[in-house]
Amino acid sequence: MSANEFAKQLKTRFAELLSEPVEFRGETTLVVAEAERIAEIGLFCKKELGFDYLVDVSSLDNYGTDPRWTVVYHLYGYGHHCHLRLKTDVSEEKSELPTVTSVWRTADWHEREIYDMMGIRFRGHPDLRRILMWEGYPYFPLRKDFPLAGKPTELPEVAFTKPAPLEGGPFVTIAGGNSTITREPRVRNPDPDSVDKEKK
């Protein structure tokens, strides 16, 4: 059975809660209309359709539009080797949706990272605390309104108190430029081995 066929079964079961399956470049996606039902839909995917592995949970910041965030669940079934993607939207006002840790234990760290970087809370998570930034850090660094130059912190002796600049850093693309190649970070920091070879 193909991922698209599994998606149609899921759509039949949950009807108005799901969009029609969309296939793009061999990947099948459904949009969950009610974020509050994501754990219930996930459980059906796991128990009835065999999507026993949650590969990843990621989030998008649709800054300037409402709902602000999209949370994306990437599912895989070891028995049938099919992938399926579920998406659901979360408003900035609510900034919360149910955890799926009761369905897939691997959601634990994924949800913690989204909370830490984007500020979306997962209700019912067994240990929702920051995973990369320190406790008490007041910002969410992957939000689009977080400046590239960073923000100062008011926590002396916990971490540095000056901004942590990303702008101009080794992993940040250059704005403008004639092409994507000229915007690549490696343009500023060429591979030292290739530089040595050119000198020889």
The token pair that represents 5 in the structure block: 């066929």
Q: What are phi and psi of 43, to 5 degrees?
A: -65, -40
Residue 148 lies in a domain: no
Confidence of residue 175 (pLDDT cuts 50, 70, 90): low
Residue 199 lies in a domain: no
Q: Give dist(CA 67, CA 91) in Å, integer.
A: 4
Residue 109 lies in a domain: yes
Domain that holds residue 20: 1-132
Counted domains in the chain: 1
Residue 150 lies in a domain: no
pTM reported for the whole predicted model: 0.76
Q: Identify whether the C-beta of residue 157 lies closer than 8 Å to the C-beta of residue 134.
A: no
Confidence of residue 177 (pLDDT cuts 50, 70, 90): low
Residue 176 lies in a domain: no
Q: Give dist(CA 155, CA 104) in Å, integer.
A: 36
Query: Residue 58's domain is classified under what CATH number?
Result: 3.30.460.80
Tens of pLDDT, residues 1-56:
899 899 999 999 999 999 999 999 889 999 999 999 999 999 999 999 999 999 99
Q: Give dist(CA 158, CA 173) in Å, integer.
A: 30
Residue 10 lies in a domain: yes
Report the DSSP pairing between strands 121-123 and 22-24: unpaired
The token pair that represents 84 in the structure block: 């399926």
